[in-house]
């Protein structure tokens, strides 16, 4: 387990709900770790869907701040980018990912981060058992795997650390939301040379 600062959150209730879902994840991980290998795999779906929902909430909060915090602004985002985003309606994970990619808000230019996020959007949409849109494998056991769970951990960690480090709010508004405890071993260690 490790902790990431919540000092970037704009909508405190969204921040509280992210914290609640991370606590739910902690309980799911505890149950998964206590289960037999075949039963442990059954936890991959609720864990993965919850992690993608947290990624969506993080992006929602960033775009909420861009849209609403016109006096405070958002640190490290150019005015022309703020103006472009403010002229759009962004209200779904798909539009959040597209806008983040267009303006490289997650510092991932030249990588496949945004494509991986879009893949996770499709995974998250598999909360619907019937798979009407025929997205991904027809067998949920092939969609919600331990390897996908691990790669989703890495993406959530990457997005969370980036928005926390790059888009931090002024110090006087910190502390309204508890910092975020992630219930796995840290994948992306801070650069020890800094």
As a whole number of angstroms, the distance between CA 45 and CA 60 comes to 22
Give the distance, in angstroms, between the CA of residue 122 and the centroid of all CA atoms in the same chain: 14
How far apart, in Å, do the first and last CA atoms of the chain sit?
Answer: 22
pLDDT of 42 strictly over 90? yes
Residue 194's pLDDT is what? 39
Provide the 10 A C-beta neighbour count for residue 149.
Answer: 19
In this structure, of 121-130, 138-147, 150-159, the range with the lowest mean pLDDT score is: 121-130
Q: 6-19 burial string, b = 16+ CB within 10 Å, else e?
A: bbbbbbeebbeebb
Q: Is the pLDDT of residue 124 over 60?
A: yes
Give the tens place of pLDDT for each residue, 144-182. Answer: 999 999 999 999 999 999 999 999 999 988 889 999 999
pLDDT category at 138 given cuts 50, 70, 90 is confident
Q: Which of 159, 157, 131 is closest to 144 using CA atoms?
A: 131
For residues 51 and 125, which has the higher predicted lDDT (pLDDT)?
51
**pTM attached to this predicted model:** 0.94
Q: Where are the beta strands (DSSP E) in the chain?
A: 2-4, 180-182
The single-letter DSSP state of residue 8 is T
Question: Is 66's pLDDT higher than 80?
Answer: yes
Three-state secondary structure call for residue 181 = strand
Other Cβ atoms within 10 Å of 79 Cβ, number: 8
Q: How confident is the model at residue 69, as a pLDDT?
A: 84
Res. 132 pLDDT band, cuts 50 70 90 = confident
Contact 177, 9 (CB under 8 A): yes
Is residue 190 within 8 A of residue 5, CB to CB? The reply is: no
40: nearest Cα among 143, 138, 145: 145
Domain-by-domain residue ranges, the chain?
2-169
Token representation of residue 124? 């998250």
């Amino acid at each position: 387990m490790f902790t990431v600062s919540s000092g970037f959150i704009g909508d405190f209730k969204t921040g509280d709900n992210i914290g609640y879902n991370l606590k739910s994840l902690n309980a799911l991980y505890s149950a998964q770790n206590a289960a037999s290998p075949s039963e442990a795999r059954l936890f991959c779906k609720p864990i993965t869907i919850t992690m993608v929902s947290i990624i969506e909430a993080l992006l929602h909060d960033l775009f909420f701040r861009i849209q609403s915090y016109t006096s405070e602004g958002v640190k490290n985002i150019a005015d022309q980018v703020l103006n472009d985003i403010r002229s759009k309606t962004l209200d779904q994970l798909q539009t959040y990912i597209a806008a983040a990619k267009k303006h490289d808000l997650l510092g991932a230019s030249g990588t496949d981060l945004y494509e991986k996020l879009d893949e996770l959007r499709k995974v998250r949409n598999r909360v619907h058992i019937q798979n009407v849109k025929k997205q991904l494998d027809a067998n949920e056991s092939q969609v919600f795997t331990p390897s996908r769970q691990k790669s989703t951990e890495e993406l959530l960690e990457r997005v969370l650390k980036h928005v926390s480090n790059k888009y931090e709010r002024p110090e006087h508004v910190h502390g309204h939301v508890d910092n975020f405890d992630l219930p796995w071993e840290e994948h992306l260690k801070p650069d020890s040379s800094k």
